[in-house]
């Protein structure tokens, strides 16, 4: 077993359907107030609602000169990254950029740009296609532009593990600190791919809730009446450092990333393994990496997508690996499922839960599925001391990433 | 030698740089170089397409350089018969 290693979380940044910035997002998440609503871009589609970041004006936040060259998933990432760097008390104009790495999860890139330019190609020919198409739509856009924005010239990579991508990024980032390759890593995830084509694809895969008559109630993780996930956009970025470096800088440490478990079901394109074997191994790997016993885990921020399959499989796996002790929540009741951003956003929520001893409620959980033996927070935030927590992320393709987050005392 | 058409083309190019490329009006002077406006190799291709759409003249990439000033660009557009 490798030696224990805790990466200090010294900065966090969020752009979510609950708000722009950590404070605005966390406040609404703790209120358990759903964000799903009708999406004008999807009018006439079978599923016409999503969770969008409200009032996000990239021209205003980033300046039009920069914003016009980037896709929305990169806009969200830049705003979250800038907040995280500020929160960590770091100044990119003075740091040694070669020692700063960036790892960002993203899977779908910028389909809006692709769709528009595909129309240009068909209507006007190849010589009218924008030269910005490739840098705008590419999955690696977010990590590349975050580095440009803050002068991070160290290791730079994107992680692509579907809906686990954001969590995978944080696990990989921790290893970059452990190996000594970096002194600071900006890690997180971003996604904004809510175009009609992408939404039709999710809809045809029967992954989405079809509760069009009541979008706000559609994302209902672990509820007996759940019928699919609600697609969302968002970004979350963390600043990670070695504990000794954070202490030398004299900045507060919010919590420690102490474990990472990464596995693959190697089973099916979209369905989780029916016995949750991959998810179970990811949890056990994260516990072993963090040198934690199951009974030391006080809280689980579940993947909890509100699909029949995920929630059933995940509930059984949590009970099997951790017993009925940990207090569970899924923030997707409020935020929907932001795909590659979700793992990072939920890791930040877990950091805040551990730091402040508050577990936010699972919105819309009215009647817990009687099959599940879980202690899930509903209606109001629950205050409790948390020694250690897990955050689960399980992606299409059976790609699993679990992070252990431990209190720094 | 400045004509009314030069001024009109200059105004049009300035408007393009402001509305499409996100420059502020104060930044766009006759002697400002394209590189000072962050017009890089990718944006030169975009600029070429926009000029063709709006002013009816076509440039190849090697006819516009980031070292050109806005006034250089205007002169070339006018020389190619571009008019507003």
Task: Round the average pLDDT of chain B to a whole number and report it.
Answer: 89
Which stretches of chain B sit within 8 Å of chain A by CB? 20-23, 38, 42-43, 45-46, 49
What totals of helices (H) and strands (E) does chain B contain, helices first? 3, 0
| Min Cα–Cα distance to chain A from B3, Å | 31
Residue pLDDT, tens place only, A109-119 = 999 999 999 99
Catalytic residue among A163, A182, A285, A349: A163
Residue pLDDT, tens place only, A165-208 = 999 999 999 999 999 999 999 999 999 999 999 999 999 999 99
Question: pLDDT-derived band of residue B61, with 50, 70 and 90 as boundaries?
Answer: confident
Q: What is the mean pLDDT of residues A153-163?
A: 97
CA A74/CA A57 separation, integer angstroms: 13
| Min Cα–Cα distance to chain A from B43, Å | 8
| Residues of B with Cβ-Cβ distance to A134 under 8 angstroms | none
Look at B24 and A163; give whichever has higher pLDDT.
Answer: A163
A213 as an active site residue: the answer is: no
Most confident of A142-146, A273-277, B39-43: A142-146
Predicted confidence at residue B20, as pLDDT, reads 86
Q: What is the mean pLDDT of residues B36-43?
A: 91
Residue pLDDT, tens place only, A322-351 = 999 999 999 999 999 999 999 999 999 999
The residue among A61, A108, A99 whose CA lies nearest residue A80 is A61
Question: pLDDT-derived band of residue A263, with 50, 70 and 90 as boundaries?
Answer: very high
Question: Does A154 have pLDDT greater than 90?
Answer: yes
CA A406/CA A345 separation, integer angstroms: 17
Question: pLDDT-derived band of residue B5, with 50, 70 and 90 as boundaries?
Answer: confident
Are residues B46 and A130, on separate chains, in Cβ contact within 8 Å?
A: yes
Task: Round the average pLDDT of chain A to a whole number and report it.
Answer: 97
Whether A138 has its CB under 8 Å from any CB of chain B: the answer is no
Residue pLDDT, tens place only, A203-239 = 999 999 999 999 999 999 999 999 999 999 999 999 9
DSSP-based three-state secondary structure for A264: strand
A303 as an active site residue: the answer is: yes
Look at A384 and B55; give whichever has higher pLDDT.
Answer: A384
- What is the Cα A20 distance to its own chain's centre? 15
Nearest Cα residue in chain A from B42? A131
Question: Does A357 have pLDDT greater than 60?
Answer: yes
- ipTM for the predicted complex comes to 0.87
Nearest Cα residue in chain B from A65? B22
Are residues B49 and A128, on separate chains, in Cβ contact within 8 Å?
A: yes
Predicted confidence at residue B2, as pLDDT, reads 63
Q: What is the mean pLDDT of residues A389-398?
A: 96
Strands A388-395, A297-301: pairing is parallel
CA A318/CA A313 separation, integer angstroms: 9
Looking at the partner chain, which of B21, B23, B45 has a beta carbon nearest the beta carbon of A131?
A: B45
Whether A67 has its CB under 8 Å from any CB of chain B: the answer is yes
A337 as an active site residue: the answer is: yes
| Min Cα–Cα distance to chain A from B1, Å | 32
């Amino acid at each position: 077993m490798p030696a224990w290693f805790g990466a200090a979380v010294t900065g966090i940044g969020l752009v979510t359907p609950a708000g722009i910035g950590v404070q605005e997002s966390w406040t609404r998440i703790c209120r358990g107030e759903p964000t799903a609503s009708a999406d004008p871009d999807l009018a006439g589609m079978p599923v016409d609602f999503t969770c969008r970041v409200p009032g996000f004006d990239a021209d205003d936040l980033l300046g039009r000169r920069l914003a016009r060259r980037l896709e929305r998933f990169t806009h969200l990432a830049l705003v979250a990254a800038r907040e995280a760097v500020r929160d960590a008390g770091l100044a990119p104009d003075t740091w040694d950029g070669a020692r700063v790495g960036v790892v960002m999860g993203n899977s779908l890139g910028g389909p809006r740009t692709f769709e528009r330019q595909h129309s240009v190609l068909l209507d006007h020919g190849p010589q009218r296609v924008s030269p910005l198409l490739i840098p705008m739509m590419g999955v690696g856009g977010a990590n590349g532009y975050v580095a440009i924005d803050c002068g991070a010239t160290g290791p730079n990579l994107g992680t692509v593990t579907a809906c686990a991508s954001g969590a995978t990024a944080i696990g990989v980032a921790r290893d970059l600190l452990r190996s000594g390759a970096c002194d600071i890593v900006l890690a997180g995830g971003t996604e904004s791919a809510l175009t009609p084509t992408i939404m039709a694809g999710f809809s045809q895969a029967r992954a989405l809730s079809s509760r069009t008559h009541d979008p706000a109630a559609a994302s209902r993780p672990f509820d007996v009446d759940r019928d699919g996930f609600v697609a969302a956009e968002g970004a979350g970025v963390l600043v990670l450092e070695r504990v000794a470096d954070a202490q030398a800088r004299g900045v507060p440490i919010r919590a420690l990333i102490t474990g990472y478990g990464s596995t693959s079901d190697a089973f099916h394109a979209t369905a989780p393994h029916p016995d949750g074997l991959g998810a179970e191994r990811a949890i056990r790997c994260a516990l072993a990496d963090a040198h934690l016993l199951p009974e030391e885990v006080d809280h689980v921020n579940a993947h909890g997508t509100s699909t029949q399959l995920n929630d059933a499989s995940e509930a059984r796996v949590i009970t099997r690996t951790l017993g009925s002790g940990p207090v569970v929540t899924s923030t997707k009741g409020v935020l929907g499922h932001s795909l590659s951003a979700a793992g990072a956003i939920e890791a930040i929520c877990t950091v805040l839960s551990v730091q402040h001893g508050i577990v936010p409620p699972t919105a819309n959980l009215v009647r817990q599925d009687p099959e599940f033996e879980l202690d899930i927070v509903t209606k109001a935030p629950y205050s409790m001391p948390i020694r250690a927590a897990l955050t689960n992320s399980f992606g299409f393709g059976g790609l699993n990433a679990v992070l252990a987050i431990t209190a720094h005392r | 030698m400045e004509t009314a058409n030069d001024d009109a083309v200059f105004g049009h190019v300035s408007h393009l740089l402001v509305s499409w490329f996100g420059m502020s009006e104060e930044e766009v002077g006759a002697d400002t170089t394209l590189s000072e406006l962050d017009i890089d190799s990718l944006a030169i291709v975009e600029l070429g397409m926009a000029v063709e759409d709006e002013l009816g003249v076509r440039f190849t990439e090697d006819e516009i350089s980031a070292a050109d000033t806005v006034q250089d660009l205007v002169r070339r557009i006018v020389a190619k018969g571009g008019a507003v």
